[in-house]
Amino acid sequence: MQIVNLEQKLNLFTETWTPKIIGELNGQHVKLAKLQGEFVWHSHQNEDELFYVLKGTLIIKLKDKTVTLKPGEMYIIPKGIEHKPIAHEEVHVLLFEPAAIKHTGDVTHELTKEKLDWI
């Protein structure tokens, strides 16, 4: 049980598309990620996923629309929904999702990390 300061945690890493775990509760992980560029289209079969933008503008392409999120805005991607995050400039996000989730979902890609680190 420690105080987690998001800004301090964000200063601990520079990699993009590599979520870092900062908390766990009720079988869910709280993560921070830095995003830049385009991620792969993917979906999570069993897990809903929450994006909360801390910095920058996050674009999430969905099959039927495109969502643009600014700092202070959040969006929940229901399980099974294909999505493709895009960050034209660096974006910092807080993620909430089940501890079991794989960040590229059903897709295995060079961006896929098998095991995420705690920071």
- Are β-strands 49-55 and 58-62 bridged in parallel, bridged antiparallel, or unpaired? unpaired
User: Among 12-20, 33-41, 92-100, 109-117, which window interacts with its own copies (CB under 8 A)?
Assistant: 92-100
The answer to whether the beta carbons of residues 69 and 60 sit under 8 Å apart is yes
Q: Is 18 in the site for its own copies (CB under 8 A)?
A: no
Among 59, 81, 86, 119, binds its own copies (CB under 8 A): 81
Q: Is 23 in the site for its own copies (CB under 8 A)?
A: yes
Q: Smaller CB distance to its own copies: residue 45 or 110?
A: 45
Report helix, strand or coil for 95: strand
H-helix or E-strand containing 61? strand 58-62
Pick left, alpha or beta for residue 110 (phi over 0 → left; psi -120 to 50 → alpha; otherwise beta): alpha
Token pair for 97: 């999702």
Q: Is 98 in the site for its own copies (CB under 8 A)?
A: yes
Report the alpha-carbon distance of residue 87 to residue 93 in Å, rounded.
Answer: 11
User: Among 5-13, 33-41, 85-93, 102-110, which window interacts with its own copies (CB under 8 A)?
Assistant: 5-13
User: Among 11-19, 84-92, 95-103, 105-113, which window interacts with its own copies (CB under 8 A)?
Assistant: 95-103
Among 67, 86, 111, 116, binds its own copies (CB under 8 A): 67
Q: Is 4 in the site for its own copies (CB under 8 A)?
A: yes
